[in-house]
Amino acid sequence: MLKKMSFISKTMLFFNVVVAITTLMAYLLPFLAPKWFPFLSVLSLFLPFFLVVNLLFFTYWLIQFKKYIFVSGLVLLLGITFINKFYNLKQTVLPKSENEFTIMSYNVRLFNKFNWYKKANIPTKIAEFVSEKNPDILCVQEYSDLEKTKFSNYKYQHIFKEGNNIIVGNAIFSKYKIIDKGVINFPNSTNNAVYADIIKGNDTLRIYSMHLQSIKISTNIEEEEIQKMNESKTKYIFRKISGAFTKQQEQSLLLKQHFSECKYKKIICGDMNNSAFSFVYRTIKGSMQDAFESNGDGFGKTYNFKYYPARIDYIFADKNIQIKSFETLNDFYNSDHFPLISRLEIK
């Protein structure tokens, strides 16, 4: 049968099989600890790309009326549960009620402290933006004190910062009373998570603001550094990503252990620095709801990466909390991340 195929069809089938096998391997990554398969874990970042390529192969064979349609067809069928983690067709916005509340999560990148963006008055713009959206609870990652971003209209606050040259941390601001709070320090890392127990009506909510290990890859890697390490640029990047994912594994397990002991309804917000197809995502989300999956729209891009709709920031909520709406605010370009906001109601 293959002898009768044209050279183009043989070539297409070969690459189709390679992509299909790679995609199937990527499907397994949420169940494999990165520390055992560090280089392989990097594939989780590219799963949306693999899904799109499989769809293109599926379309190609469909137009050709070839039986090889089953190669990508089976892969897409097996991965149907992954699709809405990458793209949501519609948003279901539920009506407002008196008992609901809003929560925002935002990695502010130190309020542009080192002028990565040349736009003027970014701290003021962020403060004005938060004031305009007026969330009841605000979770901030990469927080750094600036007079213009004190968020002083929030009576209750939990701010944790540390560092020598760069003072950075996480924070939770609330209109509701905070009765307890704390910090989860991650070993051998400047990243951490903070939590606060908040009184909302007759309920107590446990809120987490997390920031897992950053990949820390610059788009302009110094040539001297590359030569010193005697590695190609691609291998260097893979080593950086896989090393960060290994640390994230340890951090996610620490966070899971902490919130597993919590008796309150919980919401986890923040920057995971990893995709929704990863071991880290699966570990932290567990049986909770991903607000984007429940009520998101489109790609849900949370990181300002030019060529790829990366979703690495999340809002998770227990199943006894109703997610009434969710939005990624992609029109607000004042950090390398976009803010997330969700309306919630305790059932």
Question: What H or E segment, with its residue span, contains residue 146?
Answer: none
Tell me the average pLDDT across 102-121.
88
- 137-143 and 101-107: which strand pairing? parallel
pLDDT averaged over every residue in the chain: 88
- Please, are residues 338 and 287 in contact by the beta-carbon 8 Å criterion? no
Residue 92 has pLDDT above 80, yes or no: no
Residue 91 has pLDDT above 50, yes or no: yes
pLDDT tens across 200-240, in order? 999 999 999 999 998 865 444 444 444 444 556 677 777 78
Token couple for 95: 């009506």
Is 0.85 surpassed by the pTM of this model? yes
The model's confidence at residue 8, banded by pLDDT at 50, 70 and 90, is: confident
Neighbouring residues of 86: CB distance < 8 A, sequence distance ≥ 6: 47, 48, 51, 276, 299, 311
High-pLDDT (> 70) share of the chain, %: 93
The model's confidence at residue 308, banded by pLDDT at 50, 70 and 90, is: confident
Closest CA relative to residue 293, chosen from 308, 315, 309, 274: 315
Burial (CB count within 10 angstroms: exposed 0-12, middle 13-18, buried 19+), residue 253: middle
The model's confidence at residue 163, banded by pLDDT at 50, 70 and 90, is: confident
- Phi, psi at 17, each rounded to 5°: -65, -40
Alpha carbon separation from 148 to 63, 135, 143, 343 (Å, rounded): 58, 18, 13, 26
What number of other Cβ atoms are within 10 A of residue 263's Cβ?
Answer: 7
High-pLDDT (> 90) share of the chain, %: 58
User: What per-residue confidence (pLDDT) applies to 172?
Assistant: 97
Tell me the average pLDDT across 284-300.
94
What number of other Cβ atoms are within 10 A of residue 93's Cβ?
Answer: 13
User: What per-residue confidence (pLDDT) applies to 226?
Assistant: 43
Distance CA 103, CA 240 (A): 32
User: What per-residue confidence (pLDDT) applies to 216?
Assistant: 67
Order across the sheet with 101-107: list the strands: 156-162, 168-174, 137-143, 101-107, 340-346, 321-328
More confident residue, 91 or 19: 19
Distance CA 140, CA 153 (A): 15
Tell me the average pLDDT across 162-179.
90
Token couple for 345: 């109601």
Burial (CB count within 10 angstroms: exposed 0-12, middle 13-18, buried 19+), residue 18: exposed
Tell me the average pLDDT across 242-255.
93
Closest CA relative to residue 345, chosen from 133, 102, 178, 179: 102
Residue 292 has pLDDT above 80, yes or no: yes
Residue 246 has pLDDT above 60, yes or no: yes
Distance CA 122, CA 142 (A): 15
User: What per-residue confidence (pLDDT) applies to 147?
Assistant: 65
Dihedral Cα 29, 34, 40, 46, nearest 10 deg: 60
Distance CA 211, CA 42 (A): 19
User: What per-residue confidence (pLDDT) applies to 275?
Assistant: 93
User: What per-residue confidence (pLDDT) applies to 231?
Assistant: 57
